[in-house]
């Protein structure tokens, strides 16, 4: 069964850059799936950030598109999220996922001075 | 952007009761609608995919139906462990979107 594990800094200062990595195990990132990032502010609902295919093709949420980059590293079987110019509104649990079926456990990112 | 509207926002049901959650899409999404269960401090767990396809390991009391714009998640014979928030999610078009969630409480 595919497993996904998010990692990255848990605390950022406003205007900084959020960088997270999702390590994929028990499965290949080169499989025919889209790999996604989703976030959830504390006590709120789910927001789709974007997705990437192993070819490097990406789709982003228009609401975040100007600040988001998702990339893939096939040699490490992982993919990454970069979000620039963060504010307190970006404080959330960040999840990585495969298609609609597998999600990681999530990592909490707090933006605070 | 396709908007998914769930109803109700909250439901309180006695054990062994029945839960029905609806998800309405702002435009047709075929069968590209999925249901998730999220318990506190856990990541969402897939319950039903493509409107009505069951998922291995998910109890049979969970079922889904619908197509186009109207979808339903049904939980038969509710158990205490089913207390959670339930979300619908569409993968028909970009950007992918989620419903606002329905919280189910056990009376």
Looking at residue B51, its pLDDT comes to 97
Taking one residue from A and the other from B, the number of pairs with CB-CB distance under 8 angstroms is 44
Name every chain A residue with its beta carbon within 8 A of the beta carbon of B97: 48
Contact between A86 and A17 under an 8 Å Cβ cutoff? The reply is yes
- Mean pLDDT in order along chain A per 10 residues (113 residues): 94 97 94 95 97 95 97 96 98 96 96 96
DSSP chain A: --EEEEE--SEE-TT--EEEEEEEESS-TTSS--EEEEEE-TTS--EEEEEE-TTS-EEE-TTTTTTEEEEEETTTTEEEEEE-S--GGG-EEEEEEETTTEE---EEEEE--
Contact A48, B96 (CB under 8 A): yes
Residues in chain A closer than 8 A to B55 (CB atoms):
101
pLDDT for B100: 98
Are B95 and A61 an interchain contact pair (Cβ–Cβ within 8 Å)? yes
Question: Looking at chain B, which residue has its C-alpha nearest residue A4?
Answer: B43
Q: Do A51 and B96 touch (CB under 8 A)?
A: yes
């Amino acid at each position: 069964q595919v497993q996904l594990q998010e990692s990255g800094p848990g605390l950022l200062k406003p205007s900084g850059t959020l960088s997270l990595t999702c390590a994929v195990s028990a499965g290949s990132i080169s499989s025919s799936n889209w790999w996604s990032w989703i976030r959830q502010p504390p006590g709120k609902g789910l927001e789709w950030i974007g997705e990437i295919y192993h070819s490097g093709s990406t789709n982003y949420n228009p609401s975040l598109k100007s600040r988001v980059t998702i990339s893939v590293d096939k040699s490490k079987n992982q993919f990454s999220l970069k979000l620039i110019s963060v504010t307190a509104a970006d404080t959330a649990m960040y999840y990585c996922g495969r298609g609609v079926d597998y999600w990681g456990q999530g990592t909490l990112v707090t933006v605070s001075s | 952007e396709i908007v998914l509207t769930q109803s109700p926002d909250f439901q309180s049901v006695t054990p062994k009761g029945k839960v029905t959650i609806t998800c309405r899409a702002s435009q047709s999404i075929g069968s590209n609608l999925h249901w998730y269960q999220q318990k506190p401090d856990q990541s969402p767990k897939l319950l039903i995919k493509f409107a009505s396809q069951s998922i291995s390991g998910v109890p049979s009391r969970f079922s889904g139906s619908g197509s186009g714009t109207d979808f339903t998640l049904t939980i038969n014979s509710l158990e205490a462990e089913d207390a959670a928030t339930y979300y619908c999610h569409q993968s028909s078009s970009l950007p992918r979107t989620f419903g606002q969630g329905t919280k189910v409480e056990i009376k």
